[in-house]
C-alpha cells in the first residue's frame, strides 16, 4: 500500500536550535497514526511542515504520490489537510461561530446571500451549537461569546469541533485533549474513531499514553527532531513506548518497514 502522505529528510532549523533533523514520515490511508515524543522533540514542527504552516529548510513531501510544496497553511488546506494546531489558531476577539466558520462562511439563501452577500448567522450558530454539544461542551452558555472569554478547555473544544466538522483528506490533531476534561476527552476519542470509520486518516499528537494505545493503529516515536521508530501498539507496552521516546531504552533494531 502506498502512503497517502510521505515525507523524507525534512530539516528545520531555528538559529542554533534544530527542530527537525532529517525527519521521515509516513501516513497510510485510513489509519490513526499517533506521534509521541518528549516536549520539544519537534512534533509540532513536523506537522506544521506537513500542513504548510512552516516551510522546511530542506526535504520533500508527497501527498497521494505527488510531490507537493505548500507555501501557506491555505495551500495545505486546499489540498485537503485540516489541522488543529497546538496554539489553536483562533481570533480571540471574535465569537465562537465566527471562528468555526472562518474562511468558509455560510451565506443566506437567495438574493440576500448571492447579491447582498449576507451571512446566515442563524444557520452558523445552530451548527456551531450542535457541534459543541456533540463534544459535550455543555458549559458554554452563550454561543456568541468571544473566544478570549472561554475557558482553556472550551477553547480547545471549539478548535477540535471545527476540524472534525470540516474534515477532508487528512486530519491532524496536535494534542487535542490537553486542556479537556474527562468527559470531553472521551468524546474527542470517540470522534476520532468516527472520522476514521469515514475513511479519513488521522495524525494524533498526544502525551496521554492510554489514549494513544487505545486508538492508534501505529505509533511514530519522535526523538530529538527525528523519527526514532514506528511501533505497533499491539506489539509493545506503554512502558516500552515511553522508554523509547525518552531515550531510556534503545529502539527495536529494525524500524517497521511500514
Partner 1 sequence: MSETQDYEKAAASSPSSVAVFAAHDQGAVKRIQHALHQTPWMVPAIVLAASILVFGLLLGEKFFSPFALTLILQQVQIVGILGAAQSLVILTAGIDLSVGAIMVLSSVVMGLFSFRYGLPTELAVAAGIACGTFCGFINGFLVAVMRLPPFIVTLGMWQIVLATNFLYSANETIRAQEIAEQAPLLQFFGNKIAIGGAIFTYGAIFMVLLVLFLAYVLRQTAWGRHVYAVGDDPEAAELSGVQVKRTLISVYMLSGLICAFAGWALIGRIGSVSPTSGQLGNIESITAVVIGGISLFGGRGSIMGMLFGALIVGVFSLGLRLLGADAQWTYLLIGVLIIAAVTVDQWIRKVSV
Interacting residue ranges for Mg ion, rule: CB under 5 A: 44, 86, 151-152
Task: Report helix, strand or coil for 95.
Answer: strand
- Within residues 66-125, the interface with a second copy by CB under 8 A covers 86-87
The one among 239, 250, 256, 258 contacting partner 1 by CB under 8 A: 239
Classify 83 in phi/psi space as left (phi over 0), alpha (psi -120 to 50) or beta: beta
* 11 forms part of the interface with a second copy (CB under 8 A): no
154 interface partner picked from a second copy, Mg ion, partner 1, none, CB below 5 to 8 A per type? a second copy
* Bridge partners, 223 (sequence order): 226
Alpha helices in 43-114 (DSSP H): 43-51, 73-78, 96-100, 110-114
Q: Which is nearer to a second copy, 39 or 197 (CB)?
A: 39
Contact 222, 228 (CB under 8 A): yes
Choose between 18 and 118: whose C-beta lies nearer to ligand ATP: 18
Helix (H) or strand (E) holding 126: helix 121-134
Instruction: Spell out a b/e string for 144-154, using b for 16 or more CB atoms within 10 Å of the CB, else e.
Output: eebbeebeebb
Footprint of partner 1 on 72-91 (CB under 8 A): 72-74, 77, 83, 85, 87-91
Nearer to partner 1, 3 or 225 (CB): 225
Of the pair 6, 90, the CB lying nearest partner 1 is at 90
39: contact with ligand ATP by CB under 6 A: yes
Q: Closest separation between CB of residue 84 and a second copy, Å? A: 13
Q: Which residue's C-alpha cell is 526514532? A: 228
Can you tell me the distance from the alpha carbon of 63 to that of 172, in angstroms, rounded to the nearest whole number? 14
Q: Where along the sequence are the contacts to ligand ATP (CB under 6 A)? A: 14, 17, 19, 37, 39-45, 86, 139, 145, 149-154, 179, 181
Amino acid at each position: 500500500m502506498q502512503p497517502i502522505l510521505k515525507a523524507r529528510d525534512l530539516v528545520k532549523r531555528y538559529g542554533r536550535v534544530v527542530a527537525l533533523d532529517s525527519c521521515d514520515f509516513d501516513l497510510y490511508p485510513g489509519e490513526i497514526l499517533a506521534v509521541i515524543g518528549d516536549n520539544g522533540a519537534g512534533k509540532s514542527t513536523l506537522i506544521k511542515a506537513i500542513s504548510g504552516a512552516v516551510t522546511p529548510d530542506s526535504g520533500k513531501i508527497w501527498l497521494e504520490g505527488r510531490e507537493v510544496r505548500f507555501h501557506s497553511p491555505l495551500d495545505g488546506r486546499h489540498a485537503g489537510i485540516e489541522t488543529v494546531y497546538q496554539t489553536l489558531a483562533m481570533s480571540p476577539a471574535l465569537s465562537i461561530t465566527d471562528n468555526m466558520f472562518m474562511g468558509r462562511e455560510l451565506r443566506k439563501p437567495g438574493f440576500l446571500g448571492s447579491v447582498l452577500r449576507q451571512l446566515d448567522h442563524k444557520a452558523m450558530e445552530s451548527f456551531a451549537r450542535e457541534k459543541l454539544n456533540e463534544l459535550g461542551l455543555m458549559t458554554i452558555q452563550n454561543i456568541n461569546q468571544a473566544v478570549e472569554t472561554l475557558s482553556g478547555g472550551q477553547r480547545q473544544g471549539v478548535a477540535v469541533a471545527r476540524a472534525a466538522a470540516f474534515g477532508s483528506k487528512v486530519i491532524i490533531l496536535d494534542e487535542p485533549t490537553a486542556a479537556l476534561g474527562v468527559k470531553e476527552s472521551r468524546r474527542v476519542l470517540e470522534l476520532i474513531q468516527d472520522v476514521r470509520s469515514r475513511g479519513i486518516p488521522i495524525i494524533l499528537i498526544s502525551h496521554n499514553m492510554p489514549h494513544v494505545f487505545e486508538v492508534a493503529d501505529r505509533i511514530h516515536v519522535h526523538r530529538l527532531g527525528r523519527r526514532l521508530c514506528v511501533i505497533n501498539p499491539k506489539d509493545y507496552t506503554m512502558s516500552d513506548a515511553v522508554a523509547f521516546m525518552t531515550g531510556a531504552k534503545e529502539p527495536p533494531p529494525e524500524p517497521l518497514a511500514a
